[in-house]
Structure 1
Amino acid sequence: MTLPKPKNAEANFREAFEGLKVDAGKLLPMGTPVSQNNVAKEAGCDSTALKKAQFPVLVADIQAYVKNQVGERAPSERQRLLKQRQRSRTAQETIQDLKAQRDAAASLLVESNARISILTRKVRGLETRPEELQSKARTLPRRTTSTCIVPTR
């Protein structure tokens, strides 16, 4: 009977790296991004245990994988929440701007209605006035051309 050969540290790290790549980690939750620190944690070690000086090929593989995955990685929950807050803040600013525009328009409407009311009263007053003026008016005789004196030079 042969006992399984104990794995060395590099094999543990390599297994953890492969597990994180396919999102099948044993210690870290699913969706944990691949990084040098997370590979060390997944291997059951301290996050500083995986050093470039000791495992240069493995660290280079991890860094290359991370570099290739930058564009494909979905945003983290924190990043998603930050974007949502920015959109919310932008929406709140938009609401404030729209309220200010609404208030300004309502103010102009009230001023216009007041001006219309004043002008309407003036028109009504002037409409009744011609009757008053006609009753007081005198008729003047018409001038004829024969009564006009034309100055001579």
Structure 2
Amino acid sequence: MKDSAEAEYRKAFRRIVEGKAVRVEKGSKPTLANIAREVGRDPSALKKSRYPTFVAEVEAYVESCGSVLEPRDRSLSTQLASARAENKALRQRCAILTDERDAAQSKVLNLQMSLVEKAHLLEGFEGPSNVASFDQRVRQKFLQRDRYEE
């Protein structure tokens, strides 16, 4: 009889999930109490100790679906209001991110400007170098060779 009771519970669970419930409201959540009511039994009859695999399957389904199982108002005006509210929140988030980006870019530009200023200050402190430039020495050697070849 356990198998037939579990089979009834499974059929009731399937009906609730598909929205074809007979004894409970259509669109109700597939909780253990609702499944027992759909079968026509007391809600306390469906226990985890009696049907551990079935109860685990129901809990996994409810957990995986999460907010999808919440009843929603399908009216067009409600959907439009929800979409407007979401768009408004997205616009506000976009404005906040734009402000953050602009502030960060301003900081970067200020740092670059201070680096340029510091580089100009360093150029003023540099005195004439007593190390001969490698490039100048190479040019002098090539100029001397060209003169000798002529």
- Structure 2 length as normaliser, TM-score? 0.44
Higher-Rg structure is: 1
| Structure with a larger share of its residues in helix | 2
- Structure 1 length as normaliser, TM-score? 0.43
